[in-house]
Amino acid sequence: MTVRDWLTGQSFADQYEFGMDMLMYLTNGSPLP
Amino acid sequence: MPVIITPAIRVITPHQASLDSGWGPRCNPFMFRLGACPRKRGAAGTTAQQVKQSFFGALAILTTAIPVGDVLDAFLGTRAAQVAAEDLPGYSSFRAAKADLGSPGAGNVYDHVVEQSQVARSGFTPEEIHNPFNLDPVPRGINQLKPTTTPASGPSPAG
């Protein structure tokens, strides 16, 4: 299952939160969870 | 503090100010305009001892150090800060959004926080996806890293 598959069907708010979290990890250079 | 409003007006260029005046990465021009951006720690708060030096010194500091979002809140009121994302106008296409919003800044691109593919996958409308709330100005390199560093599978359902 890809992330896109996993996100599909989730609410806009949940997908937005996930996207912002990913952006934060990339911006800070933190390791992905 | 209404006395600071007049000198601070000149600061307001939403996108540039959101990038340069101590506002965090979780901020896009419309969030900034609504005063809804999270603030970086320590972005302000260094003026307490400086302000007492002199009237003119304090005035100069106030024009540069007062958080712009606080000033905007004073103008817009708390109600504006509570406007939901879905209340913002969206665009039918990314091209239209970019044309209307203007440049995201030198070296930056607009990143869709919720991906464009979710129009077809999740049934979101183009207006939701190409909404200023969902368009985050980020450095081009970060935007290009996103698809390659996103894990191949999502978090576990239990997590």
Residues of A in contact with B40 (CB under 8 A): none
**Closest CA–CA distance from residue A30 to any residue of chain B (Å):** 11
Question: Residue B84: which residues within 8 A CB-CB, separation 6 or more?
Answer: none
Residues of A in contact with B149 (CB under 8 A): 25-26, 32
Mean pLDDT of chain B: 63
Of B138, B122, B124, B118, residue with least CA distance to B90: B124
Single pTM value for the model: 0.53
Nearest to B128 among A7, A12, A25 (CB): A12
Q: What is the pLDDT of residues A1-31, one digit of tens each?
A: 888 899 999 999 999 999 999 888 888 887 7
Nearest to B26 among A3, A20, A33 (CB): A20
**Alpha-carbon torsion B39, B42, B43, B49, what sign?**
positive
Nearest to A4 among B112, B113, B121 (CB): B121
Mean pLDDT of B102-106: 93
Among chain B residues, the shortest Cα distance to A27 is held by B142
Q: What is the pLDDT of residues B109-157, one digit of tens each?
A: 999 999 999 999 999 999 999 999 999 999 998 888 776 555 555 554 4
Provide ipTM, 2 decimals.
0.91
Q: Of chain A residues 10-29, which have a CB less than 8 A from chain B?
A: 10, 12, 15-16, 19-20, 22-27
pLDDT of residue B135: 94
Residue B53 in this model has a pLDDT that exceeds 60: no
**Cβ–Cβ of B153/A23 closer than 8 Å?**
no
Residue B108 in this model has a pLDDT that exceeds 50: yes
| H-assigned helices in B21-117 | 29-33, 48-51, 55-65, 68-81, 94-101
Q: Can you give the C-alpha Rg of chain B in angstroms?
A: 19
Nearest to B145 among A3, A8, A26 (CB): A26
